Amino acid sequence: MEAEIRKDDNKVRTSRGISKEVWEARPYTRWTKDDVSPIEEAYAGLAGSQINFMKNLAGQQVGWIITRHAVPHAPHVWPEIRPDGLVRTGPPMMHWHGVGEEPEFPNGGYSELDRGSKAWKEHCRRVNENDLEEDTEHETRQDPHTHKTWLNTASRPRRSGTSRGRCPRCRGGIPRACRTG
């Protein structure tokens, strides 16, 4: 398997416009779904749950680990992973960006985007351009709804509890579970 990967390295490097000097300096490391040990090595030093999250992503698709280097005297920079296809990052997140009074949300947790904000505009643009989504004019959506959570690039995972979602009862920062319940 390693020989196959090595044979394709130059094709991958040149098709993406990466110079040989940069390719060798980083390095770029390949992982497979059957062997995610390179992921564990790349993220050594993170909490076990963070490493497990990255291994879960890597177990869904083959891909590349892109090593980053910090500037001198700066903090460590964690590598980025680039799966060859989309990977699921977690359960869908309920959210709302409608007009009027906030609706009742199941299970207490949700995320809210302020209508007209830069984040809302970017969210609607991404949904409208995504072939995996059914909406083509997402800005007209008024009901609470979810989107599948897919990505094709990731760096160090956030610590739990750092999402910006709000609970309608306690207005806490943990979208999937209410601190009061």
Provide the H-helix boundaries in 16-47: 20-25, 37-42
Here the tokens at position 3 are 């020989």
Alpha helices (runs of H) in 130-174, residue ranges in sequence order: none
Task: Read off the pLDDT of residues 76-130 as tens digits, 9 standing for 90 and up.
Answer: 888 988 898 888 887 777 777 888 887 777 666 677 778 888 988 988 888 888 8
Token pair 């390719």 is found at: 23
- Using a pLDDT cut of 90, give the percent of the chain over it: 18
In contact, 109 and 79? CB cutoff 8 Å: no
